[in-house]
Structure 1
Amino acid sequence: MIFARVTGSVVCTQKDEKLVGCKLLLVQPVDLAGAPKGNPIVAVDSVGAGERELVLLVQGSSARQTSRTQGNPVDAVIFAIVDTVEQGGKAVFRKSEDKDAG
């Protein structure tokens, strides 16, 4: 599982019929401090994530395990919107206090 920030959307006028109706989002993997980590990823959104939200995603065969992506040609899927992250008994992220979410 990977923390990522939604940075945009991807619109495709032509795509595999199994992906019709799937919303594609551009996400940037981040570390716990919110710093970019690695290259941006295009992911199927299975939870209705919005621009600049912190999300969890999976890649590879795990990406084809959600009800929306099972059996589809998908390499990355957003499966959760993060509300709180605790580390060492302390909250290191709270959606309600997220200055990066806009």
Structure 2
Amino acid sequence: MKLARVIGNVVSSVKTESHSHTKLMVVHPIDENNQLIGSSLIAADNSQAGIGDRVLIIEEGGSARQVLKNSTAAVDAVIAGIIDEVRD
């Protein structure tokens, strides 16, 4: 699992069947000091996240599909939760 910030949403007029009714968001990994690290990616949103939210992402296909409760989804990253606070 990784910390990330939602930086945008993906709008698509055509989606694979496993993505229908699934909101896709652009997320960028962050460190514990909220600094951007690495590259941005697209993640399915299972938590009703919005642009600017700090989120917890899972970047592993099997686990992402379990969070979505869809074993056949073509997904390798998912927003698993919205982060309210990070403590030491």
Shorter-chain TM-score bucket reads: over 0.9
CA RMSD in angstroms comes to: 1.1
| Percent of residue pairs identical | 38
**Cα displacement (A) at 1:63:** 1.0
Larger radius of gyration: 1
Aligned residue number for residue 29 of structure 2:
29
Superposed CA deviations along residues 3-51 of structure 1, whole A, max 9, x for unmatched, are 0000000111111111111000000000010111100010000010011
* Partner Cα distance (2:54, 2:70) in 1: 20
**Displaced runs of 4 or more, over 4 A:** none
Q: State the match for 1:45 in structure 2.
A: 45
Structure 1 unaligned segments of length 5 or more: list them: 88-102
Instruction: Specify every segment of 5 or more residues in structure 2 that has no aligned partner in the other structure, as ranges.
Output: none
1:70 is displaced (CA, Å) by: 3.3
Corresponding position of 2:14: 14
Report the TM-score, using the length of structure 1 for normalisation: 0.80
**Structure with more of its chain in strand, by fraction:** 1
Count of matched residue positions in the alignment of Structure 1 and Structure 2? 87
Q: TM-score, normalised by structure 2?
A: 0.92
